[in-house]
Structure 1
Amino acid sequence: MSDAPVGETQLSVLLSTLQPELHPDTFVFVTLPTSHVPDDLEPVCQFREAEGLTLIVPQAQAAQAQLSYQYPCRMITLTVHSSLAAVGMLAAITQALATEGISTNVVSAYFHDHLFVACNRVEATLDCLARLAATALDP
């Protein structure tokens, strides 16, 4: 196996080709005291913490399962194939969003990064990402 990075690593290329895609569902964060995921849930992400299992699931599934949840949000996938070793992309994105007063919870996966933003801040987030991409190649 090679240790060479897979995916893009050049920051200006990453930022100029973010190509965000908005997922149609509303997602929520759920925590469970066990590591077992109920059969009626299809999480897009799960993470074990000392306090319990955190799941990110469609809000409709959490409601159907009568689970308590937090942070109704939308998922924006950055379709650029960023390397797991890329430096600075998420820092630039979160700084730009912070300047706009936009909270984001970021999940990095093998191929893409995913931003979870409050439902009422989706358009502002997409606008911010478009501005960031447009200026990324400027010296």
Structure 2
Amino acid sequence: MTGEYDLAVLFAGMEPVLGDDIWLFVTLPDRTRAARLDAILRFEEAEGTTLIVTEAVAQAEGLDGVFPSRMITLNVHSALEAVGFLAPIATRLAAEGMGVNPVAGFFHDHLFIPADRAEDAMRVLRAMRAEGQPSSRT
């Protein structure tokens, strides 16, 4: 099951969906503890395990999280090898003054956007979809 490579098709078919949860990025040096936590993402780094967890999980576990964010799922099946899909998105969001932490899943790309800028990000993504092509214009 392969995803789409054509950027025009990807942008025209992109259906961004904003999730309700607030997510936090945390790190734990204790890999055993990290493995027990409910996380949407787990990534092993030399310094410890990076997790993306809900605000509720972080609070319940007494974890100090950073980058309170909301997740936007792009809902278009992009190929993992597709070139140039996320770069114009990150560029447009940067032009709006917001950082983005993208995560590629097998079927979809997901964007972690500052929680207080999520609606702004959705506006940008809808505009990019309407344009049907990658663009760094604001």
| Percentage of pairs with the same residue | 44
Aligned-residue RMSD, C-alpha: 1.5
Where does the alignment leave 5 or more consecutive residues of structure 1 unmatched? none
**Equivalent AA in structure 2 for residue 105 of structure 1:** N
Where does the alignment leave 5 or more consecutive residues of structure 2 unmatched? none
Q: 1:137, 1:82 → 2: CA distance? A: 14
Shift of 1:34: 2.4
Question: Is residue 107 from structure 1 mapped to residue 103 from structure 2 by the alignment?
Answer: yes
Q: 2:68, 2:8 → 1: CA distance? A: 32
Question: Is residue 56 from structure 1 mapped to residue 33 from structure 2 by the alignment?
Answer: no
**Corresponding residue of 1:125:** 121
Q: Specify which of 60, 64, 86 is matched with residue 68 of structure 1.
A: 64
**Equivalent AA in structure 1 for residue 16 of structure 2:** P
Q: 1:131, 1:23 → 2: CA distance? A: 19
**Corresponding residue of 1:29:** 25
**Equivalent AA in structure 1 for residue 89 of structure 2:** I
TM-score, with structure 2 as normaliser: 0.91
- 1:32-73, CA deviations, whole angstroms, 9 ceiling, x for partnerless residues? 00222253x210001111111000000101101111111111
Flag the structure with higher helix content.
Answer: 2
Shift of 1:84: 0.4
Contact 2:44 2:50 in 1 (8 A): yes
Flag the structure with higher strand content.
Answer: 1
Q: 1:66, 1:101 → 2: CA distance? A: 31
Aligned length: 133
TM-score, with structure 1 as normaliser: 0.90
Q: 2:47, 2:123 → 1: CA distance? A: 36
Q: 2:46, 2:30 → 1: CA distance? A: 10
Shift of 1:75: 0.5
Contact 2:7 2:133 in 1 (8 A): no
